[in-house]
Structures are given as structure tokens and as C-alpha cells.
Amino acid sequence: MYSVTVRDHMMIAHSFRGEVFGPAQRLHGATYVVDVEFRRPDIDEDGIVVDIGRAGDTLKHVLGEVNYRNLDEVPAFSGRNTTTEFLARFVFDRMLVAILRGELGPGARAVQSLKVTLHESHVASAAYEGSVAPSA
């Protein structure tokens, strides 16, 4: 299995509901350094998994939807805790749609799975990984 990983970051504010979060129930924020890994069994005739330039541009576009925002006020996240895990899934879903729509080029449709990792500090991270085409 081959893979390619690209990195970017976003800086957001949010608060959590639930005693488990302790002081993180207050409005605070985070820098998320985001890695997106694209996996496929073979490389294409150019020798690549995915056009890394388009992959990076798409990731920047996806993060731009929430970057420099208070996630408590983003309608799409209403009633949800925007935890690192939840945001890893959010980025995964957006990248998946971009691949299916051909925004990373026709070759990217051969990508079988994605893993999105969000590093929230030097000591903690969360990730979501899943298939691009689950019903083979």
C-alpha cells in the first residue's frame, strides 16, 4: 500500500458542553496542525498517489471554511462538541467529497482510504480514518 501525507493548520475558538471537559467548558481555542494521508494500492503512470499540489490546495480550502472562526457560532456544528475527534471527521468528510467530485484530479479517485490527524499540542492528537469507497 502506498500513501502520501500533506500538512497544514487552522486556528479556532470553541467551548465544550459536558463535565468531562472540565475547564475546556469555557470558551478557549486551539491550533490544529492537520495531516491528511491518502492511500492506494498502486501509484499511477506518473508515479504518484495523488497530485500533491492539488491535495494541499484542497486541504487549505477545507480548513479555510473554519479557520479563524469561533466554532460555537458555525451553524453546521450547532449542538455538537467540536472536539479534536469530531473535527478530524469533519476534515475527512470534506476531503472525501472533494475526491469524489474530482477536485484532486481524476487519478485521485483511485485513492482507497484517508486518514486525517489533528495535532492539538505537543502532547495530544486525534485522528479519523476510513474508506473512500466502502462498498467495493
- Give the binding site for a copy of itself (CB under 8 A): 1-9, 11-14, 16, 18, 20-24, 26-33, 43, 46-49, 51-53, 56, 67-70, 80-86, 88-89, 105, 120-130
Give CA 105 to chain center in angstroms.
18
Whole-number Å distance between alpha carbons of 63 and 82? 14
Closest distance between a copy of itself and the C-beta of residue 101, in Å?
Answer: 18
- Work out how close the CB of 8 gets to a copy of itself at its nearest, in angstroms, rounded to a whole number: 7
Our CB check for a copy of itself shows the closer of 21 and 103 to be: 21
Nearer to a copy of itself, 82 or 100 (CB): 82
Q: How far apart are CA 16 and CA 14, in angstroms?
A: 7
Least Cβ distance, residue 53 to a copy of itself (angstroms): 6
Nearer to a copy of itself, 85 or 102 (CB): 85
Q: Nearest approach, Cβ of 22 to a copy of itself (angstroms)?
A: 6
